[in-house]
Amino acid sequence: MELARLWRSKKQRYTLQGEVCPNCQAKIFPPRDVCPVCKEEARTEFTFSGRGKVVAFTTVTQPPHGYEGQAPYVVALIELEEGPRLTAQLTDLGQEEPYIGMPVEMVTRKLRAVEGKRGILVYGYKFRPRLPWR
């Protein structure tokens, strides 16, 4: 990923910044400027809570290039409290096994390191189990 594109996606990567449709109130993530529900323009920024639940998950044992050092790892389909679904790596599981319906919260973690002259570290969102008191 080139540096300019990385910086443009900073809000959605670090704060789950999406959009809300001013016409039908649908919450949209990632931002896409046109509402997938009513097809009207949707450029009103919306920050998601970062809380949700696991809808599905799988363990990745054959990772794509750049993620080899993390395998095996769990990737989950997360349904945010506000409605949208997204995929993300689960982290901080310890000895806990993931399960359907597991309450989770977004955290910012290192995704990978980009090799080259600059050695850029790419950070983004992952999800961890949400404790009852959070």
| All structural domains of the chain | 1-48 (no CATH), 50-134 (2.40.50)
List all residues 6 or more positions away from 55 whose beta carbon is below 8 Å from its beta carbon.
76, 77, 78, 79, 85, 100
Confidence (pLDDT) at 11: 55
- Angstrom distance (rounded) from CA 5 to CA 52: 27
Which residues face 15 on adjacent strands? none
Coil vs helix vs strand at 48: coil
> Using CA atoms, how far apart are residues 48 and 12, in angstroms rounded to an integer?
9
On whether the CB atoms of residues 47 and 17 are closer than 8 A, the answer is yes
pLDDT along the chain (134 residues), means of 10: 52 75 93 90 90 96 80 93 94 92 91 67 85 62
Contact 128, 104 (CB under 8 A): yes
pLDDT at 66: 72
* Per-residue pLDDT at 58: 95
pTM of the entire predicted model: 0.79
- H-helix or E-strand spanning residue 105: strand 103-114
User: Nearest to residue 80, comparing CAs of 125, 42, 57, 49?
Assistant: 49
